[in-house]
Amino acid sequence: MNKKKFTYKKSGVNIRAADNFVNFISSVSSKKKGKKKFSNIGGFGSISDIPNHIKSPKIVACTDGVGTKIEIANTLNKYDTIGIDLVAMSVNDLIVQGAKPLLFLDYISINKINLMKLKTIIKGIVKGCKQSMCDLVGGETAEMPGTYEKGKFDIAGFAVGVVSKNKILNKDKIKKNDLILAIPSSGLHSNGFSLVRYLLNQKKINIKKNKFLKTELLKPTKIYVKEVLNLIDKNLINGCANITGGGLPDNIKRVIPDNLVAEITLGKVRTLKIFKWLYKNGISDKEMLKTFNCGVGFCLIVSPKKHDKIKRFFTKEFQPYIIGKISKGKNKVKLNGSINWI
The CATH class of 171-187+222-336 is alpha beta
> Three-state DSSP class for 232?
helix
Q: Looking at the predicted structure, is the pLDDT value of residue 25 above 90? A: no
Domain 14-29+51-167 identical in fold to domain 171-187+222-336: no
Lowest mean pLDDT among 20-24, 140-144, 191-195, 317-321: 20-24
Q: Nearest CA to 300 among 216, 242, 213?
A: 242
All structural domains of the chain with their residue ranges: 14-29+51-167, 171-187+222-336
The C-alpha angle 299, 319, 269, rounded to 5 degrees, equals 55
Label residue 51 by pLDDT band (50, 70, 90): confident
* Maximal CA-CA distance, the chain: 84
Length of the chain: 342
Q: Looking at the predicted structure, is the pLDDT value of residue 225 above 90? A: yes
- Distance between alpha carbon 79 and the CA centroid of its chain, in Å? 16
Q: Which CATH architecture has domain 14-29+51-167?
A: 2-Layer Sandwich (3.30)
Q: 29 or 156: which carries more pLDDT confidence? A: 156
Q: What DSSP element (H or E) covers 238?
A: none
CA atoms within a 13 Å half-sphere pointing along the CA-CB vector of 245 = 13
Q: Looking at the predicted structure, is the pLDDT value of residue 34 above 50? A: no
* Whole-structure pTM value: 0.92
The residues, ordered by sequence, that sit 6+ positions from 310 with a Cβ below 8 Å of its Cβ are 181, 231, 236, 237, 300, 302, 320
Q: What is the mean pLDDT of the chain?
A: 92
147-181 confidence digits (pLDDT tens): 989 999 999 999 999 999 999 999 999 999 999 99
Q: Name the burial class of residue 94, with classes exposed (0-12), middle (13-18) and buried (19+) by CB atoms within 10 angstroms of its CB.
A: buried
Q: Nearest CA to 119 among 134, 89, 141?
A: 141
